[in-house]
Amino acid sequence: MKLIVGLGNPGKAYAQNRHNIGFRCINYLARLHSIQVKKHQCQSQTSSGKIGGVKVLLAKPKTFVNLSGEAVGQLIRKYSIAVDDLIVICDDLDLPLGKLRLRPGGSAGGHKGINSLISALGSKDFCRIKVGIGRPTKEEGTAITDEDAIIDYVLSDFIPQEEAAINQAIARVAEAVHCILAEGITAAMNKFN
């Protein structure tokens, strides 16, 4: 069984935030494959089903992004899932809005949720699907690096002009998940990166 985790923060106030793109992707995948993500276990909302004939467990950790490792670690242990059978969907500040980047592993790259997962799992070797949310910029176009401004940005909602690109990205994430399950991460990286 593959564990597919979308990172996000629980609660209606965060539902449309940039940081919640992982939750939105899980919701889309669930609708697409008639899976209802309603079971509460291991500090997560989960459900199992099949995507392309492969058994999957979809999960939305309810620990808030920065503590995602707590919930995912519990799910991995409960279901005896190998770390390389984990696919994590998350936001990425350093990618342009709507761009996808698939990786078979690697560092957290400054993402506190991924850092939490690496700490909890004791491994960097899990697949990531990163969705670009862009980086906040000053009026003249230079990137904002102030930590508080970045936190405000990732916890803000996409503006209406960005929603079309984000909805396309969410649909492409579903295609990328299907490709990973059917053909493996290398083939998916060649197709979607």
Q: One of 19, 40, 111, 178 is an active-site residue; which one?
A: 19
CB 83 within 8 A of CB 76: yes
> Active-site residue 178, yes or no?
no
User: Percentages helix, strand, coil for the chain, rounded to the nearest 5?
Assistant: 45, 25, 35
Locate the DSSP E strands across 42-85: 44-51, 54-61
Contact call for residues 45 and 37 (beta carbons, < 8 A): yes
**Half-sphere exposure in the Cβ direction for 38 (13 Å, CA):** 4
Contacts of 36 (CB under 8 A, 6+ apart): 30, 47
Show which residues are catalytic: 19
